[in-house]
Amino acid sequence: MNALFFRLQHRYAPYLFVAPFVILFLTFTLYPIAKSLSLSFYITNGPKSQVFVGWDNFRFLWGDPAFHRAVWNTCTYALTSVFLQLPLSLGLALLLNSRLVKGRNFFRFGFFSPHLVGQVFVAVLFSVVFIPKFGLLNRVLHALVGTAIDTKWLGNPELVMPALVLTSLWMYVGFNMIYFLAALQSVDRELYEAAQVDGAGAFKQFVHVTLPGIRSVAVFVTVLSTIGSFQLFELPYVMLSNTAGPDNSGLTVVMYLFQNGFIAGDLGYASAIGWTLTMGVLVISLAQMRLTGTWKRED
């Protein structure tokens, strides 16, 4: 009897251990995803009244200028975070990885520390950094150029996106640097020595030793920050005092979803936006993994 209990508990233990994940996955992931697909064919008004409209939500979305604006803004932000922020992170990591550096831990903490301030709090802080006349940014610019600067960073539709990008650089450059630095430190030093013996200069070493050595991490970071940037919401929403900014210049896809679903109460349209976002993100991240030749296989 006791032996039987022991065998059974050994056999069924793993199922029990993953059960919480499975239950939550079914209830709070699989069901909502399926439900949101069906919801996207309805016009709803709060959780109770629903009218089936077929493809109308998607058709409307296709011609919705506000949605176009949101997609444009989100893509701009995502592109800058991949092509501006990640190279900067890698650059900082390369500098920090140099053998000449003294006080590496201090610098690492210094660069990383903005990430400890969460998105909403960063947004509150930077909403004040960007105020005209007295904000930190304009004061610093004033000190640099010598004349008083009165730029309305968050009031000028042309400048809202640059302000957002600047904020996210501050918040994420050091964070992504941590990944690159760890990857760089795991590259075998002997490979560099071998390359040096073969007469490879700094650039050749970077291309032939460093890049292959950090490739899997680079792909991981790129995919994660792309997915993350497409979900941009908190920064603009809080920085722009819960609005989309002048001329919708700070409107993002998720913000548009939130506005439609939870302020206007049309969960159906919100779901259509959500599905469009999901398809976009999936296609882009799969393409990234394909292009970089990384089909992550789990063994």
Minimum distance between the CB of residue 130 and another protein, rounded to whole angstroms?
11
CB of 200 or CB of 217, closer to another protein: 217
Please list every residue from 280 through 299 that binds another protein, using CB under 8 A: 281-282, 285, 296, 298
Would you give the distance in Å from CA 65 to the centre of its chain? 24
Applying CB under 8 A, among 236, 245, 250, 261 the residue interacting with another protein is 261
How deeply is 132 buried, as exposed, middle or buried, from its count of CB atoms within 10 A (0-12, 13-18, 19+)? middle
Minimum distance between the CB of residue 61 and another protein, rounded to whole angstroms?
14
* CA–CA distance, 130 with 152 (Å, rounded to integer): 7
Q: Per-residue string for binding with another protein, 2-21, x by CB under 8 A?
A: ----x--xx--xxx-xx-xx
The answer to whether 267 and 47 are in contact (CB under 8 A) is yes
What is the four-CA torsion angle of 207, 211, 213, 214, rounded to 10 degrees? 170
Q: Is 244 in the site for another protein (CB under 8 A)?
A: no
Please list every residue from 89 through 118 that binds another protein, using CB under 8 A: 92, 95-96, 98, 100-102, 106-111, 113-114, 116-118
Q: Per-residue string for binding with another protein, 177-216, x by CB under 8 A?
A: -xx--xx--x-----------------------------x
Please list every residue from 59 through 88 that binds another protein, using CB under 8 A: none
Token pair of 283, please?
């296609």
130-137 long-range CB contacts below 8 Å, 24 or more apart?
Answer: 130/154, 130/163, 130/239, 137/166
Minimum distance between the CB of residue 87 and another protein, rounded to whole angstroms?
14
